[in-house]
């Protein structure tokens, strides 16, 4: 009975969220029925932008980031990419895009499988329901419909444009967004404390690290931190870290709260006793060390903060590491190394 009520509620919520705004659809074709040059969604903004035009088109929901992916309300994402409301079908909890001239795209709430003209692909995240609305991962849906997608982390922008076309200039949109965004007050960084409240974190306690166990990889030298006398290493899983974060260091410390491993990015949530600065990240393949990921030294207005590192060949042409071949995500601080077991590791060579 409870299962039936849950299914009926899902159908009702989906139907209401889809039909209540059907008369607000925006046509993204020009008079010659050519696709527009660009569509921009902004995380946290209730407007999206077509062909660089401002102030943009208002939505009744806002895109957000979860598990390193940007989610956009289904109707607005479909409309912005050229799918009419009449061609978005619901067979709850499944959504089907059937716009003539486009691939037929199918997604299901809670499932990581996306189909484009019947060909199934596994995403690294799944469509989800939030406050009765269905949200879809923007990148996968756009690419399935034949678009190219770029992510601007600094401005929280997802940019979509027709596949094969030149990447559009959206500088006017970026400038508009910056003017509309109020200044974020800088949160003062708390000075280092000798001890943190009991139970908040687990102290770093690891085994001595022998640098000889780690060979240089592809011409890259072993990091200096691995050579310091008394260096130690601590291994754990992502789940263990999330249950009880790890404090590294003493007088100057950092706290690692979470490691979110995606196909092309690794996101680290941490806090620092001094100026919030991203941790040093190393990708390890057994006893071999991969390319050290360069820090993007930017100022953060919050502490804790989250920082992302590119890990794939597509996202980082200078690297090219396959995340499924990485055994550990290693974070370095002083003479300590926190080795997080990679949840995406597939035993590759």
Q: How far is the C-alpha of 168 from the C-alpha of 124, rounded, in Å?
A: 27
Q: What is the domain range of residue 294?
A: 202-341
**Are residues 116 and 19 part of one domain?**
yes
**Are residues 31 and 152 part of one domain?**
yes
Q: Which residue has the higher pLDDT, 89 or 92?
A: 89
In a domain, 349, yes or no: no
8 A C-beta contact, residue 50 and residue 28: yes
**Are residues 323 and 175 part of one domain?**
no
In a domain, 47, yes or no: yes
Residues pairing with 337 in the sheet: 233, 332
Query: 172-177: which pairs have CB atoms within 8 A and are 24 or more residues apart?
Result: 172/52, 172/54, 173/40, 173/49, 173/52, 173/54, 173/56, 176/49, 176/54, 176/55, 176/56, 177/42, 177/45
**Are residues 172 and 242 part of one domain?**
no
In a domain, 163, yes or no: yes
Q: Residue 38 is encoded by which pair of tokens?
A: 């660009």
Q: Which of 118, 150, 180 is the last residue of a domain?
A: 180
8 A C-beta contact, residue 57 and residue 47: yes
Secondary structure element (H or E) that encloses residue 61, with its range: none
Q: Is the pLDDT at 19 greater than 80, yes or no?
A: no
8 A C-beta contact, residue 260 and residue 232: no
Q: What's the DSSP call for residue 320?
A: -
| Whole-number CA gyration radius for the chain | 23
Query: 8: Cβ–Cβ under 8 A, 6 or more apart, which residues?
Result: none
In a domain, 193, yes or no: no
In a domain, 38, yes or no: yes
Distances (CA, A) of 247 to 193, 197, 297: 12, 12, 21
Secondary structure element (H or E) that encloses residue 72, with its range: strand 69-73
**Are residues 133 and 40 part of one domain?**
yes
**Are residues 133 and 212 part of one domain?**
no
Q: What percent of the chain has pLDDT over 70?
A: 70
CATH number, domain with residue 170: 3.30.457.10
Of residues 85, 64, 204, the one with CA closest to residue 137: 64
Q: Is the pLDDT at 298 greater than 50, yes or no?
A: yes
Q: Is the pLDDT at 326 greater than 50, yes or no?
A: yes
Q: Provide the number of structural domains found in the chain.
A: 2
Q: Residue 186 is encoded by which pair of tokens?
A: 């800088």
**Are residues 124 and 248 part of one domain?**
no
**Are residues 256 and 121 part of one domain?**
no
Q: Is the pLDDT at 276 greater than 50, yes or no?
A: yes
Q: Which of 132, 150, 180 is the last residue of a domain?
A: 180
Spell out a b/e string for 234-247, using b for 16 or more CB atoms within 10 Å of the CB, else e. Answer: bebebeebeeebbb
pLDDT band, residue 94 (cuts 50/70/90): confident
pLDDT band, residue 291 (cuts 50/70/90): low
Q: Is the pLDDT at 11 greater than 70, yes or no?
A: no
Q: Which of 148, 180, 212 is the last residue of a domain?
A: 180
**Are residues 138 and 274 part of one domain?**
no
Q: What's the DSSP call for residue 294?
A: P
Q: What is the pLDDT of residue 282?
A: 81
Alpha carbon 106 to chain centroid, angstroms: 22
Place of tokens 């590759």: 348
Q: Which residue has the higher pLDDT, 289 or 248?
A: 248
**Are residues 242 and 101 part of one domain?**
no
**Are residues 70 and 210 part of one domain?**
no
In a domain, 324, yes or no: yes
Residues pairing with 256 in the sheet: 246, 270
In a domain, 52, yes or no: yes
**Are residues 165 and 41 part of one domain?**
yes
In a domain, 190, yes or no: no
pLDDT band, residue 309 (cuts 50/70/90): confident
pLDDT in tens, 166-215: 999 999 999 998 887 654 444 444 444 434 454 567 888 888 877 666 65
């Amino acid at each position: 009975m409870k299962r039936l009520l849950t299914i009926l509620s899902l159908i009702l919520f989906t139907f209401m969220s889809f039909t209540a705004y059907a008369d607000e659809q925006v046509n993204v074709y020009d008079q010659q029925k050519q696709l527009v040059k660009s569509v921009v969604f902004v995380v946290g903004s209730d407007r999206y932008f077509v062909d660089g035009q401002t102030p943009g088109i208002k939505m009744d929901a806002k895109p957000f980031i979860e598990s390193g992916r940007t989610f956009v309300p289904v109707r607005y994402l479909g409309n912005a990419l050229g799918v009419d409301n009449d061609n978005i079908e619901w067979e709850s909890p499944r959504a089907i895009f059937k716009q003539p001239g486009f691939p037929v795209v199918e997604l299901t709430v809670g499932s990581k499988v996306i189909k484009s003209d019947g060909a199934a692909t596994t995403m690294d995240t799944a469509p989800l329901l939030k406050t009765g609305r269905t949200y879809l991962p923007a990148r996968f849906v756009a690419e399935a419909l034949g678009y190219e997608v770029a992510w601007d982390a600094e401005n929280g922008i997802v940019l979509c444009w027709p596949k094969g076309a030149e990447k559009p200039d959206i500088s006017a949109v970026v400038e508009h967004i910056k003017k509309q965004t109020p200044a974020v007050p800088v949160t003062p960084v708390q000075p280092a404390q000798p001890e943190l409240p009991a139970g908040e974190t687990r102290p770093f306690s690891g085994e001595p690290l022998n640098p000889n166990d780690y060979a240089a990889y592809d011409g890259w030298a072993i990091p200096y931190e691995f050579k310091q006398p008394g260096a130690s290493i601590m291994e754990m899983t992502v789940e263990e870290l999330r249950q009880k974060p790890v404090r590294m260091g003493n007088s100057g410390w950092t706290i690692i709260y979470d490691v979110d491993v995606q196909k092309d990015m690794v996101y680290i949530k941490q806090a620092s006793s001094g100026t919030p600065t991203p941790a040093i990240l190393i990708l390890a393949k057994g006893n071999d060390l991969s390319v050290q990921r360069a820090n993007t030294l930017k100022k953060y207005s919050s502490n804790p903060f989250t920082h992302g590192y590119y890990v794939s060949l597509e996202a980082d042409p200078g690297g090219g590491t396959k995340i499924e071949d990485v055994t550990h995500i290693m974070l370095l601080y002083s003479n300590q190394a926190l080795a997080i077991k990679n949840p995406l590791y597939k035993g590759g060579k």
